[in-house]
Structure 1
Amino acid sequence: MTKSVLIVEDDITFGMMLKTWLTKKGFLVFSASSVANAQKVIAAEKVDLILSDLRLPDRDGIDLLKWLTAKATPVPLIIMTGYADIQSAVQAIKLGAKDYVAKPVNPDELLKKMNEALEPVVEAKTTPNQPTPSSTGTVKAELAAGYLKGESDAAKQLYRYVELVAPTNMSVLLIGASGTGKEHIAHLIHQLSHRNDAPFMAIDCGAMPKELAASEFFGHKKGAFTGALTDKTGAFVSANGGTLFLDEIGNLSYEVQVQLLRALQERKVRPVGSNEEIPVDIRLVAATNENLEEAIEKGNFREDLFHRINEFMLPIPELKERKEDILLFANFFLDQANRELGKHVTGFDMKASAALQGYHWPGNLRQMKNIIKRATLLAEQEYISLTELGTELLTPAAPTLALKNEDTEKQQILEALRQTANNKSKAAQLLGIDRKTLYNKLKLYEIGL
């Protein structure tokens, strides 16, 4: 059945070229050069899809979107513009635009978007007020488990690797700085695997005392040690058939590494205080923000365990490496904050947008989420300004005192603490390491504060 398309475009030459090309592709094409004319066509004709320029002589494509919503006219609309403005794109998506393309339009890309927009709508469980997922385009907003994937080359490569490794049983090692979303990636690998109906268990190895590690991993029997008042099921058994995620695995003591390696090799665990071995079938995903190969050289991490957990290494890019995604994430976190706080903030003004894009984001996505939630709470106008974001985003990136080797580490740490007046969080940023890592180094070098 022939589909009809309405082109709303004030550039007559471009509009005619587009109409001719779409007609050859088998579409019935109507044209309008303003919002008012478009409304007349929609009222008089059956229109299956609208391609609308963002900037029009009388109003803009967003006004047309609002009019369609007010009239309860369910016609999918794709915004076209030569003004590659993420803010306008996100606003259009929020208001119901099916997709967004920037001029000059790539014909193949546009045709793909049109075909997707014309597909029958399948109801899905979605979170209210989040950008509509689309398969291509500048404002692609693929959401997985309430999470934005992004559009940068780094993001595309990351999720391509996730899709490749998830269906396998390979152990995955996620390498990335704090706040980059390693646990989300671990969840996604589980969700895309054949184990997705079984449990996903996450253990924070950085917060686990070595004395309790065996109990946490393998469980214990009542009375096995002081304080063991009842039987405890360990993480391996709880995750049986599913995925076990070990976050900050580099923080495990050498003794615990030996126990973990044995369990992974034998696929059996023995609860503390028990003579019985329990067979387990788990898929392991581990994560670290440390260089485990350097830890192996220093004798702090077992090489055989490293190879066991590292069948597939997956680097997680930092936010500063994903410049194209910064405003997408900012608007995504703004939507979350609006829902959580009962606010209705529309977006960010130009100066705030520029500050978001220019900042180096040492705390990555976690830092951005916190800053935007606070700004949303403080905002009294329609758009968040620099006033609400705070002066932190105007601070240039500090020169990093990256730790080089064990001989100079202590002096570098002391210098970073001196420069930051003993502020551990800022010292960790200056050193280019995670705060947990800094705490471990302070303990190692017996630096008391």
Structure 2
Amino acid sequence: MKRILIVDDEINICTLLSRFLGKHGFKTESTMTGAQALKMLKETPFDLILCDYRLKDTDGAQLLNDIRALSPQTVVIIITGYSDVRIAVDMVKNGAYDYISKPLYPDEILALVNKALEHPGSPAPQPAQAAPAAPAADAPHRPQPSGGTQNGGQYVYGESEPSRQLIRELTLVAPTDYSVIIFGETGTGKESVAHLIHDHSSRKSQPFIAIDCGALSRELAASELFGHEKGSFTGAIGTKIGAFEQAHGGTIFLDEIANLPYDVQVALLRVIQEKQIRRVGSMKEIAVDVRLIVASNENLFEAVQKGKFREDLFHRFNEFTIHIPPLRERGDEDLRSFVDAFLSQAGKELNKPEAALSEEVWECFRNYDWPGNIRELKNVIRRASLLTPAGKEISVAALPLEMKAGKMMRQPAAAAPETAPANQQDEPNLPLLDDNDLKSVALKAEYNKIINVLKEVKYNKTKAAQLLNIDRKTLYNKLRLLNINY
């Protein structure tokens, strides 16, 4: 059995590569530092080393020299980011067998490892893309879904570190048959990620079936998931094929899984264990082969602790978890990527030139929290594009009320003169909101009331919520909407 050492300062890459290569008959070990790698190499011979170029205690070039001095026969493959490709090419000239760029594709790694171990003495022939020529040839091939996502548009990738981490995890787990939990806030694109996983798995030519568990009633959940026979209950006028049967050979995506009724969770656990379903009203067992991807905007582990979700079912799902970062954590570069893509889509939908954003709108976008994330951003762009005449820039006036209110409410606190009376400082100045608009008037009144109550209770939000006769969650939502920071 060939022995492989994986050296990478990202523990999830070490773990996934170890498991993946282990499943294909290799003996693997891993470490996160160059020093430990050399120590392990002194104690145990390795046939091949997969080594990240950038490590915390050294770099790939130095580690390659040390490895060659210790064990000349060991094959070294460099793992590199896009920005280090030229360096990696030089390392191949200096004795590395080959390099592979992030994000990593397990099938590509397996093919390269097998090839390297078949002919360990000769370097790999360098493909055209390895030459330090066109940057586009060096760029990592990111997965693209076979069908449209996000209401018909292709998946939009970000360039921030959270986005890159998401892609790294996705490309590692997609070719496997692991069950996956996708966790993220509303509107972050959980179903789009599920589509990408399916489209880059061995099941991509088979069905992808999505079910919104939040829309399933207790009475109909079993029928939707497992099907029913004619006459099995009132209204069952014919035989129905359930989602699991429809997805046979492919992938089933269960969105908002935390909302699934508890008794249906019991039936689902049995299906996962036995790989068989039984339609409602039938005694016949039907074998099903599906890959499970589930999504939730609620932390499933916390739901288990509260008794809302079965612990055994959680562990059945939890072979791999992907966290999709909210839009507010993805940085300006991601925000600009999404905005550009949605502006282009909106222009095509409306059959008019793509609009541009004014600097004032960009500032508003950068300061907004985006509670609805990518879905909210897309809807804001579509609305603003519709309201903006062709050839004009999108202005703040085309934004939704809550965004305009949030923008204008930030201004008085900074601009209010110190000598102004207290009641004048508290009054929000909203010049872009129409004083004759009932929504605008209500928004101002609500702002004033919340500010006054918060002062009365010395900014104790629990007491404020009680006095306002609302729960704390509602209060926090209003504080965010009105941009009140206390």
Q: Normalised by the shorter chain, which TM-score bucket?
A: 0.5 to 0.7
1:255 to 255, 263, 276: 263
Aligned length: 296
Q: Match of 2:133, as an amino acid?
A: N
Match of 2:399 in 1: 389
Q: Which amino acid aligns with 1:329?
A: F
Residues 86, 132 of structure 2: 8 Å contact kept: no
Show CA shifts across 1:33-61 (max 9, x none): xxxxxxxxxxxxxxxxxxxxxxxxxxxxx
In the alignment, structure 1 residue 135 sits paired with structure 2 residue 139: yes
Deviation, 1:358, is: 2.0
Unaligned runs of 5+ in 1: 1-104, 120-133, 399-410, 433-449
Q: Matched residues in 2 for 1:211 and 1:268: separation? A: 21
Cα distance in 2 between the residues matched to 1:213 and 1:224: 14
Which residue among 328, 340, 363 is the counterpart of 1:331? 340
1:103-141 deviations in Å (ceiling 9; x for gaps): xx99949x989734686xxxxxxxxxxxxxx937xxx99
CA spacing shift, 1:373–1:255, aligned 2, 3 Å: same
Query: 1:221 and 1:412, CA in 2 relative to 1: closer, same or farther beyond 3 A?
Result: farther
Letter in 2 for 1:135: A
The structure-2 alpha-carbon separation of the partners of 1:302 and 1:221, relative to structure 1 and needing over 3 Å to count, comes to same
1:415 aligned to 462, 465, 468, which one?
Answer: 465
Contact (CA 8 Å) 1:327, 1:356: kept in 2 or not?
A: no
Deviation at 1:275, TM superposition (A): 1.2
For the 8 Å contact 2:143–2:196, the answer to whether it is kept is no
Give the secondary-structure state (helix, strand or coil) at the position aligned to 1:202: strand
SS of the residue 1:115 aligns to: coil
Residues in 2 aligned to 1:236 and 1:106: alpha-carbon distance in whole angstroms: 45
Q: Look up the match of 2:185.
A: 177
Q: Counterparts of 1:115 and 1:348 in 2: how far apart (Å)? A: 35
Q: 1:32-89 CA deviation, whole Å, 9 max, x = no partner? A: xxxxxxxxxxxxxxxxxxxxxxxxxxxxxxxxxxxxxxxxxxxxxxxxxxxxxxxxxx
3-state SS, counterpart of residue 294 of structure 2: strand
Using the TM superposition, give the Cα deviation of residue 185 of structure 1 relative to its aligned residue in structure 2, in angstroms: 0.4
After superposition, residues 148-227 of structure 1 pair within 5 angstroms as 148-227=156-235
SS in 2 for 1:210: coil
* Cα distance in 2 between the residues matched to 1:413 and 1:284: 44
Q: Do the aligned partners of 1:292 and 1:306 also contact (CA within 8 Å) in 2?
A: yes
The residue type equivalent to 2:292 in the other structure is L
1:359/1:239 CA distance change after superposition, 3 Å: same
Quote the sequence identity (%). Answer: 47
Contact in 2 for aligned 1:345/1:379 (Cα 8 Å) = no
Q: Given residue 365 of structure 2, which amino acid in structure 1 is its aligned partner?
A: L
Given that residues 196 and 242 in structure 1 are in contact (C-alpha distance below 8 angstroms), is that contact kept between their aligned partners in structure 2?
yes
Equivalent residue of 2:205, what SS?
A: coil
> In terms of mean alpha carbon deviation, does 339-348 or 150-159 score higher?
339-348
Deviation at 1:343, TM superposition (A): 1.9
Q: Would you say the 8 A contact 2:251–2:292 is kept in 1?
A: yes
CA contact (8 A) 1:180 1:365 kept: yes
The one-letter amino acid of 1:217's match is L
Tell me which residue corresponds to 1:358: 367
TM-aligned CA distance change 1:268 to 1:412, over 3 Å: farther
How far did residue 345 of structure 1 move? 2.7
Alpha-carbon distance change, 108 to 353 in structure 1, aligned in 2, over 3 angstroms: farther
Aligned twin of 1:115: 133
Which one of the candidate residues 272, 281, 286 is aligned to 1:273? 281
Q: CA deviation at 1:427?
A: 6.1
Change in CA separation of 1:207 and 1:266 when aligned onto 2, cut-off 3 Å:
same
Is it true that 1:369 corresponds to 2:378 in the alignment? yes
What residue number does 1:49 align with? none
Q: For the structure 1 residues 414 and 216, does the alpha-carbon distance in structure 2 shift closer, same or farther, using more than 3 Å as the test?
A: farther
Q: CA deviation at 1:142?
A: 7.9
> 1:361, 1:367 within 8 Å by CA — same for their partners in 2?
yes
**Pair 1:315-2:323 in alignment:** yes
Give the deviation of 1:291 after TM superposition: 1.9
Q: Distance in 1 between matches of 2:223 and 2:463?
A: 34
Aligned amino acid, residue 251 of structure 2: T
The answer to whether the 8 A contact 1:416-1:427 is kept is no
Name the SS of the counterpart of 2:362 in structure 1.
helix
Distance 1:369 1:197, change over 3 A: same
1:344 aligns with 353
Runs (4+) of structure 1 exceeding 2 A deviation are 105-109, 111-119, 140-145, 389-394, 411-420, 426-432
Structure 1: how far apart are the matches of 2:199 and 2:477? 33
Are residues 157 and 186 of structure 1, via their aligned partners in 2, closer, same or farther at CA, if it must alter by over 3 Å? same
Amino acid at match of 1:256: V
Q: How far apart, CA to CA, are the structure 2 residues paired with 1:224 and 1:270?
A: 12
Structure 2-normalised TM-score? 0.56
Change (3 A) 1:391 1:213: closer
1:204-260, CA deviations, whole angstroms, 9 ceiling, x for partnerless residues? 000110111110111000000000001000000000000000000000111010000
